[in-house]
Structure 1
């Protein structure tokens, strides 16, 4: 994230506030909720960091043995964790009611604080995996850089070691961030940046207005196409035991929104009916002071971030490309922006990029450094990280508006 200082600043401010600032939840709960959220995507990198924080906050070591050893109040949160992580459109008032009624009940402020932590860590898993970040060098399962054939840097897996000091340290100064972009693959030709810039120009010059019916049809087309897209990587083998103890119902994973069964039961979420700007922001601020302002700044920074560059080109207006990425991510989660022409997604996002985005958003645990290398090959690393930042933020915003709409329904009925 250090490539994008203005964004990183907002990200750290928000993360520090939800984990260490004023708020209704005790500090040990906050870090444990972060562990539960990261467990849904088997993100050992985040789980390790949050375990350390949990201990530093005086958390009970026993809880780290797994979900069977935690208070019932925390266990009751698991259903919301699972639903938000994979199929947020299934969240119902009854989920909130279950938490706020009866023994071990949660206050609404606590529920909202927990939801913010869950959505933050679910989407942070997307960022971690899609940038190829894995365990630190001194942890088993981590990665290290070795000088390979012809001076190329190779990423190799660190085998389990009883003593971190046994792991040979290598010179990591020649990091992948400074390596030249990946060579093009003869088997998967990619549309070049010049073509992309030309397409954006053509789109911005088009003046014909689409009818609402046509716009709705284009959204459904993209939705159906995304359901037919393969995803990168294979399903991970068995969940490692040190992660599995924080995960229940492993088989509950993302399901394409277009295949959600009886469509009438779960209609498309229209942003015009419940949006972050008009509804979510004020509700979250009311129930959990100040967090709405921090989240709002972070979303806006990620959405509007631009240096007017694309690969080696300068003075490029990238707004259409950025909007296509943001709206495509939210479309994967069943959210439709009524005034957006979803036909632009097909014009601007290649199938390979759509596959990468879908995987990063919905199956982050399957994404590897190789997948990162294969997409957007003419783009700079900082630009690829920028795409991953948008995956993080658009996904978090989508989960949050589903959750906050549900909290709002619970409060008003």
Structure 2
């Protein structure tokens, strides 16, 4: 009799049986897909896995998620998905081998067709298990390329999928160079955002008024919103210089709101305000602390400014701003320029924002002058384009559909 490992809350039972060579189904409907994420907590990989699992169930596929426990287990099982406890967020080689043996038994007993590893540990486990099974392997690259040799070695397993998903060209470029990933194996699928929460129609005007009042913004002032922790890598130190250049150029009626936690890097936050004082723009630069209502903050803004000088991990604020119908001026660094429509990569008539050299106050000031100089019709047109772009690029159903297309292509190729 095969050994059986009894599961915990909502978890799938694992039988130890042999895995015979078998044909995979011709279509995704009727297939069994297992995704591996570190844990079922509210984080990008887990949220993506739940969206994909729910969409799989809608088309008649079976959806399993292997991960450590977390508050999203109930949501997964409530949508018809199945949870399998699996330790994978570890660098312990003995634990990885144990988890690989667990996964190998699961592939056999549940007749899994596709394993999708969305973490480095999950990729190591999946590669070890796939070496002894006929399963098809999909991997997802991390949002930020590895910065050290050790991390590059650790994440190498993510480059070995039959198909490889990347959230951006920025994330893919060094992995392609290092591991010789062919373009045919690679698919770009941006991280999704919550388009229901970040929807201009969903934000009551009272929420906007409350924020403007809390920030002490006079009725006629146009808000240039800088979201995110006030920290060196986010580049807020250039804001006072931008404001000075805009004033010297004749622009009036604006205020920069730095809405983000500013106590962790107190010295830097003080330096920003000292620079504002030195530039004579102290009344035009506000530090408001952490904002709990980001949709309302974006709705209150005229234009969103992202002056990062180091690549951010996700860069979601650019996507969220456009979802709220707000033009964006962002640094040309990391993933950020991939999330905005701007020349020269795209025609002027489809622009949703501007891209500026990191730390270049003159470029940022020029772009912001352009944004603030739009007449009402041009501004509303750009706002509508931004929302449509966000719905196309960052909708959860779009990301799930693109992931399904990767799975389906693998199944067809395997015939």
TMscore range, shorter length: under 0.3
TM-score, with length taken from structure 1 = 0.27
RCO higher in structure (CA 8 A, sep ≥6): 1
TM-score, with length taken from structure 2 = 0.27
Higher strand share: 2
Structure possessing the higher radius of gyration over alpha carbons: 2
